C-alpha cells in the first residue's frame, strides 16, 4: 500500500475547487443545451416509468444549474428558473396525455 501524500491531496482539493468555481456548467450555452436535452427527454416518454425518470431528470437539471447554498437549499438565477418552469409545464402536459390514453 502506498503512503498518502497529504500535500498531493491538498493540491488535488484546490484544483477540484477551482474546477467547480469556474465550471462550464455555468455557461449559458450549457444551460441552453441542457434545456434542449430535457425537452427531448420529455418528448420521448412512452409510459409511466419514463415519466418517473423524466421527473428525476428535471430535478437534476435544476440542481446542476443552480448553486448549493447549504442545508439542502439551492439558488438559481431567473433564466434557469424560467427554463425549469417551462420544462415542468411541458412535463405535466405530456403526463396528462400519457395517463389519459
Integer Cα distance of 76 and 62 in angstroms: 8
Under a CB-based contact definition with an 8 Å cutoff, are residues 55 and 25 in contact?
A: no
For residues 7-28, average pLDDT = 58
Mean pLDDT over the full length of the chain: 81
Closest CA to 54 of 38, 36, 34: 38
Whether residue 48 is predicted with pLDDT greater than 80 in this model: the reply is yes
Least-confidence region, from 4-18, 46-60, 86-100: 4-18
Q: What is the CA radius of gyration of the chain?
A: 18
Confidence of residue 4 (pLDDT cuts 50, 70, 90): low
Spell out the domain ranges in the chain.
25-100
Number of H-type helices and E-type strands within the chain: 4, 2
Long-range contacts of 62-66 (CB under 8 A, 24+ apart): 64/25, 64/34, 65/25, 65/31, 65/34
Whether residue 96 is predicted with pLDDT greater than 90 in this model: the reply is yes
Amino acid at each position: 500500500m502506498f503512503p498518502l501524500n497529504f500535500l498531493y491531496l491538498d493540491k488535488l482539493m484546490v484544483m477540484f475547487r477551482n474546477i467547480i468555481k469556474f465550471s462550464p456548467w455555468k455557461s449559458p450555452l450549457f444551460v441552453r443545451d441542457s434545456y434542449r436535452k430535457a425537452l427531448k427527454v420529455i418528448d420521448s416518454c412512452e409510459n409511466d416509468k419514463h415519466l418517473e425518470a423524466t421527473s428525476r431528470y428535471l430535478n437534476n437539471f435544476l440542481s446542476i444549474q443552480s448553486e448549493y447554498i447549504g442545508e439542502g437549499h439551492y439558488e438559481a438565477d431567473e433564466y434557469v428558473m424560467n427554463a425549469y418552469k417551462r420544462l415542468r409545464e411541458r412535463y405535466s402536459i405530456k403526463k396528462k396525455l400519457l395517463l389519459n390514453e
